[in-house]
Amino acid sequence: METVNIKINGISVEAPKGSTILEAAKLAHIDIPTLCFLKEINEIGACRICVVEVKGARSLVASCVYPVNEGMEVWTNTPKVLEARKNTLELILSDHDRKCLSCVRSGKCELQKLCNDLNVDNELKYEGERNLFEVDDSAAHMYRDNNKCILCRRCSAVCEHTQAVGVIGANERGFSTNISCAFDMPLGDTSCVSCGQCIAVCPTGALSEKDSTEEVFAALADPDKYVIVQTAPAVRAALGEAFGLPIGTNVQGKMVSALRHLGFDKVFDTDFAADLTIMEEATEFLDRVKNNGVLPLITSCSPGWIKYCEHYYPDMIDNLSSCKSPQQMFGAITKTYYAEKMGLDPKKIVMVSVMPCTAKKFEIGRPDQSAAGLPDVDISITTRELARMIERVGLNFQSLPDEDFDDPLGRSTGAAVIFGATGGVMEAALRTAVETLTGKELPDPDFSEVRGTQGIKEATYHVAGMDINVAVASGLANARELLDQVKSGEKNYHFIEIMGCPGGCVNGGGQPIQPAHVRNFTDIKTARAKALYDLDASMPLRKSHENPAIKELYKEYLGEPGSHKAHEYLHTSYVKRTVNQL
């Protein structure tokens, strides 16, 4: 690798040729503040917070986009630089809603931290006319408050480039510029897929999920309700970050303990339903292969992906697995099988899910998601909302003892826990499908070819005399690339896994928000995924069809995978939508 030698604040640095001053400074253990910059997503040098002095340059330069060259001398902390950054912040605040105490991002706001770091006074230098906007809460999963927007454009960049949706962008010009939808349409009237990636990259409180914690607290306080909670696999790999633990810490035991302290009647694991999903999905795949069904079969666990398919690839709806997502399957089984087994009235059960995903808030309201004649899931909250509940009741999360999930819907396998990482659903399905096809036990259950956080992965497996071509995509721009290759005939697959969020559920739009200085230099997706793969490797059962609770469910209630009853309770249907149809 070719390098160049430069000096930053008098410190000699050897940096890769073509890297930016921002990246080179990191090598010298110098953090240059940023606001608009997100690596490989929003590299536009617009906010001017990252400006530095360069010897020979006529003006300050944006370090996030300015390349290094041999012999360059850079200063990141001169009075001129610090004053420029402070002036920029004061100009931003002159048109900003400064109700910080009641803001959901207070204490975790990048703008707030920069103002503290640069000693911006409460008495601002610039006062005058302000833009005033109505809050857009038309979408099922989130709201947009442009009074707190700083026009960094991170949200529109991730929506367009990473997710290939592009329903938000800059409208108007000059002082009137604002981020909104085309023709000022409400977000809920667009083809937004509810992925929440815009929320995850927003540096302020301009974007946030709709908070459902009050509904959960109300249900917990109602003596007439039996409140059950399920937690998705990716939640345990990220929840600890909200309480100061390192990225990728598995906090499953403390999470279960916290949920019991909150007062839930039963604490179950969505992983149980992930195992159930594999039983149904693997059966569906084998049926399509053997009976010339529609191929490739495409997974249906990610509601953001499902809505994207309905909007942008309606001609491929028949390729979607008819399986409900694990969240919905869990609710269906809870309000039918479990209710009957325990003598509970389904109408009194409140099914709460804790998900890494904001699209789950949209999913619970979809049609054909009511196995017991009631919504399969009543309330879906994000990992962030659970963290706020824990903080609200004063639990010291790090000191909580580790506890286990309740039986029987808390039992699961390693195959289920890796659902939270891109490639995990594919690997879990292959473990069951291969053993079913061959009738033999796998000597090694790992299918490492579909692991990793690359946007698109593919592999071919020779099983029972046939070649099975599989592909995995995460992030909807990657999904679009893959599906276009399938439609053109360039690629031929039997089975495809698609996750709406880059890296899978571990990087979901409802996970704890990491600031730009962490996102830009830390592989968050890989760290969180590792927690799940490590847990999988440590579990005594690693294949969904080995789960004794799943075997018992089929024996006592469903009959067999793919049965009429299983289809009635565990499968669903989809809607062909236009680009601007709900």
How large is the angle between the packed helices 303-312 and 476-488, nearest 10 degrees? 50
Running DSSP on this structure, what letter comes out for residue 554? I
Fold match between 93-209 and 214-570? no
Which tokens sit at 77?
């902390």
- Dihedral-angle region of residue 226 (phi above 0 means left; psi in -120 to 50 means alpha; beta otherwise): beta
CA atoms of 242 and 251, how far apart (whole Å): 11
Tell me what pLDDT residue 121 has. Answer: 81
CA distance 364 to 312: 21
CATH topology of domain 3-77: Ubiquitin-like (UB roll) (3.10.20)
172: left (phi over 0), alpha (psi -120 to 50) or beta: left
The angle at the Cα of 437, spanning 435 to 441, to the nearest 5 degrees, equals 20
C-beta of residue 160 within 8 angstroms of C-beta of residue 199: no
* CATH architecture of residue range(s) 93-209: 2-Layer Sandwich (3.30)
- Indicate the domain borders of the chain: 3-77, 93-209, 214-570
- The angle, 0 to 180 degrees and rounded to 10, between the axes of the packed helices 213-221 and 383-392 is 50
pLDDT digit of tens for each residue in the chain (582 aa)?
Answer: 899 999 999 999 999 999 999 999 999 999 999 999 999 999 999 999 999 999 999 999 999 999 999 999 999 999 999 999 999 999 999 999 999 999 999 999 999 999 999 999 877 788 889 999 999 999 999 999 999 999 999 999 999 999 999 999 999 999 999 999 999 999 999 999 999 999 999 999 999 999 999 999 999 999 999 999 999 999 999 999 999 999 999 999 999 999 999 999 999 999 999 999 999 999 999 999 999 999 999 999 999 999 999 999 999 999 999 999 999 999 999 999 999 999 999 999 999 999 999 999 999 999 999 999 999 999 999 999 999 999 999 999 999 999 999 999 999 999 999 999 999 999 999 999 999 999 999 999 999 999 999 999 999 999 988 999 999 999 999 999 999 999 999 999 999 999 999 999 999 999 999 999 999 999 999 999 999 999 999 999 999 999 999 999 999 999 999 999 999 999 999 999 976 655
Strand partners, 248: none
Torsion sign (Cα): 533, 538, 544, 549: negative
Question: Residues 176, 182, 183, CA angle at the centre, nearest 5°?
Answer: 75
Please give the pLDDT value at position 579. Answer: 67
pLDDT at 580: 60
C-beta separation of 364 from 380 below 8 A: yes
Q: What is the pLDDT of residue 277?
A: 98
What was the pLDDT predicted at 1? 84
- pTM over 0.85? The answer is yes
Instruction: List 498's β-bridge partners, or say none.
Output: 473
> Residue holding tokens 């249906």?
300
Residue 56 confidence (pLDDT): 94
Contact (Cβ atoms closer than 8 angstroms) between residue 354 and residue 230: yes
Just give the CATH number of 214-570: 3.40.50.1780
CA distance 415 to 540: 11
Longest dimension (CA), the chain: 79
One-letter amino acid for residue 326 of the chain: P
Identity at 43, one-letter amino acid code:
E
Q: How many CB atoms lie within 10 A of CB 57?
A: 12
